Amino acid sequence: GAGVSQSPSNKVTEKGKDVELRCDPISGHTALYWYRQSLGQGLEFLIYFQGNSAPDKSGLPSDRFSAERTGGSVSTLTIQRTQQEDSAVYLCASSLPHITSGGNYTNSMSSYNEQFFGPGTRLTVL
């Protein structure tokens, strides 16, 4: 089946411009995550959507960053007034529903919340 797809694969923009990055998760995956990987760095968590719950935005580095997930499927990460330090590879991942301590979701526990990643969008801010 189709995996996680992201578009565009590469984006070059000028400092101060806004950019939108798109993620199409695997069908049936209600959990969606955004990460970024700056040059020489690890994966930095940005935001996490789970079903209809309020997203976990704890990783967004500034208020210039925002994300939406429409219809529980496609997600868009928007960066306003881009800065050079925003240059990175932005990775999207999706997974099956995740169980919480309240038991609100079912989960394939054998997968340990395995996240499937897209190929990423390389953003370069000039």
Partner 1 sequence: DQQVKQNSPSLSVQEGRISILNCDYTNSMFDYFLWYKKYPAEGPTFLISISSIKDKNEDGRFTVFLNKSAKHLSLHIVPSQPGDSAVYFCAAGSSNTGKLIFGQGTTLQVKP
Binding residues (CB under 8 A) for partner 1: these are 4, 31, 33, 35, 41-45, 48, 50, 56, 59, 91, 93, 95, 98-101, 111-120
Q: Which residue has the tokens 């919480």?
A: 100
DSSP-based three-state secondary structure for 27: coil
Q: What share of the chain is helix, strand, coil (3-state, %, to 5)?
A: 5, 45, 50
**CA dist., res. 85 & res. 9, Å (int):** 19
Nearer to partner 1, 81 or 100 (CB): 100
Q: What are phi and psi of 89, to 5 degrees?
A: -95, 125
CB of 27 to partner 1, least distance (A): 17
Of 48 and 65, CB closest to partner 1: 48
Q: What is the closest distance, in whole angstroms, from the C-beta atom of residue 87 to partner 1 in the complex? A: 16
Q: Shortest distance, CB of residue 107 to partner 1, whole angstroms?
A: 9
Location of structure tokens 């069908």: 27
Min separation Cβ 66 and partner 1, Å: 17
